[in-house]
């Protein structure tokens, strides 16, 4: 709903029709909440851990320790979004795959330099899709 032009209207309809109060959170808050969930489910250490959560529309890239998040980012790299944008055949063609990989590389390269500098030695992957 964060990106929908009619997201506010949809939230209002949910409130009127179902009595649900919807709070749309920022991408940064989504990343923070994912960090808290992973911290509860996984034994994290004082060493920085990389958490990558791949959803349908976005991917959250988080670095944190058992004590606190150090880096919270969100990128429009969700599985559904990327499939719609880059996959035009089943199975995926080599051309589409190369274009997808180039897009991922260009988008993630600046983040990876920052993450490497933090001394990450462990990666945890999560997904809600």
DSSP 53: E
Q: Give the C-alpha separation, 72 to 75, whole Å.
A: 10
Q: Quick one: pLDDT band at residue 129, thresholds 50, 70, 90?
A: low
Whole-number pLDDT of residue 4: 83
E strand map for 19-103: 49-54, 59-64, 69-75
**pLDDT tens digits, 40-99:** 999 888 899 999 999 999 999 999 999 999 999 999 999 999 999 999 999 999 999 999
């Amino acid at each position: 709903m964060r990106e929908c032009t009619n997201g506010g209207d949809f939230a209002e309809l949910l409130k009127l029709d179902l009595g649900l109060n919807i709070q749309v959170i920022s991408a940064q808050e989504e990343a923070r909440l994912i960090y808290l969930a992973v911290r509860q489910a996984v034994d994290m250490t004082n060493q920085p851990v990389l958490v990558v959560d791949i959803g349908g529309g976005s991917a959250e890239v988080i670095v944190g320790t058992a004590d606190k998040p150090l880096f919270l980012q969100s990128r429009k790299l969700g599985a559904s979004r990327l499939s719609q944008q880059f996959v035009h055949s089943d199975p995926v063609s080599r051309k589409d795959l190369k274009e997808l990989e180039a897009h991922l590389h260009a988008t993630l390269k600046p983040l990876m330099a920052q993450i490497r500098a933090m001394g990450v030695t462990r990666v945890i992957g999560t997904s809600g899709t």
